[in-house]
Amino acid sequence: MTIRFIALDAMAECPPGMLDRIVECLDAASARIVPRLGLDRVDVVVAPTPARWLIPGWNLNAYAHGIARLTIGVGTTDLDAWTPSWSEQLTTTLAHELHHLRRFRGPGPHDTLGANLLAEGLAQCFQEEVGCPTPNYALAVRGPRLAVMAGLARDAWAETRYDHNRWFYGDRADSAWPWSGGYSLGYELVRRYLAMRGTTASEEAPLSAEAAWPALAPILNELAVEQRDLS
């Protein structure tokens, strides 16, 4: 298994030694994450990123660029000031993005709303599988707003022309679209699916949105009703 970590900081934005510590942490974390997914030939780029691009409440962001590369952008504040802890943020983010990368190798691109909800839900459940806490974005939306989103997702599961930013990052001008709604819905949907099937996020990594739909549709119906009356 070949997982290569590449630190980039041409303008020396990070404190001295910071990226070395990050790479050491990621390398150690990969030893327990990668075998569960059967991955090899992956490049992980680590580089400083502007504060405005960080995940709310975190000190980093990340993105999987298809089948072989992912980028982790880090804030430039001292690692020991990170909350949650820097090792927790790095480990859970690596797990999340490597699961995405595994899915890019099969079942393939996430070009529908359903495929993206499933992918994000599986990635978040995989974070838990490798021993990381449930991320804040998985739990950000509950109650009536989640119920509404479950109903919308049921009707638009196979849509390719959906507003990805609204679903997953929210719309500040419209409270019907909260930050992280798609992440929260995907997490709850997949969490229940895995419990029902008795499987894990790593085992279900190849699962396609089409194959999962007969089992996921009733769960969406349950969420649309159950969450409606929660405060």
Consecutive 10-residue averages of pLDDT for the chain (231 residues): 93 98 98 96 98 96 97 98 96 99 90 97 99 97 96 97 98 95 99 99 98 98 90 62
What pLDDT does residue 1 have? 55
Q: In terms of domains, do 120 and 208 share one?
A: yes
What is the CA angle 7-121-147, rounded to 5? Answer: 135
- In a shared domain, residues 48 and 146: no
125 and 224 assigned to the same domain: yes
Query: What are the backbone dihedrals phi and psi of residue 72, each rounded to the nearest 5 degrees, phi first?
Result: -115, 115
Give yes or no: residues 143 and 216 share one domain.
yes
Total number of domains in the chain: 2
Domain end (from 104, 125, 148): 104
Query: Do 75 and 163 lie in a common domain?
Result: no
**What per-residue string of b and e applies to 46-74 under the rule 16 or more CB within 10 Å gives b?**
bbbbeeeeebeebbbbbebeeeebbbbbb
The last residue of a domain, from among 104, 133, 158: 104
The angle subtended at Cα 34 by Cα 30 and Cα 36, nearest 5°, is 135
Domain hosting 24: range is 3-104
Statement to judge: residues 8 and 85 lie in one domain: yes
Based on the number of CB atoms within 10 Å of its own CB, is 193 exposed (0-12), middle (13-18) or buried (19 or more)? buried
Q: Please give the Cα distance from 132 to 124 (Å, whole number).
A: 10
pLDDT of residue 230: 79
Instruction: Say if residues 149 and 181 touch (Cβ distance below 8 Å).
Output: yes
Give the pLDDT confidence score for residue 229 in this predicted structure: 81
Same domain? 64 vs 126: no
pLDDT at 231: 62
Residue with tokens 């405005």: 52
Residues 100 and 117 in one domain: no
Whether residues 121 and 144 fall in one domain: yes
Of 80, 104, 128, the residue that ends a domain is: 104
56: tokens are 């709310």
Do residue 117 and residue 221 come from a single domain?
A: yes
Domain co-membership, 173 together with 128: yes
- Shared domain for 86 and 162, answered yes or no, is no
d(CA 15, CA 93): 21
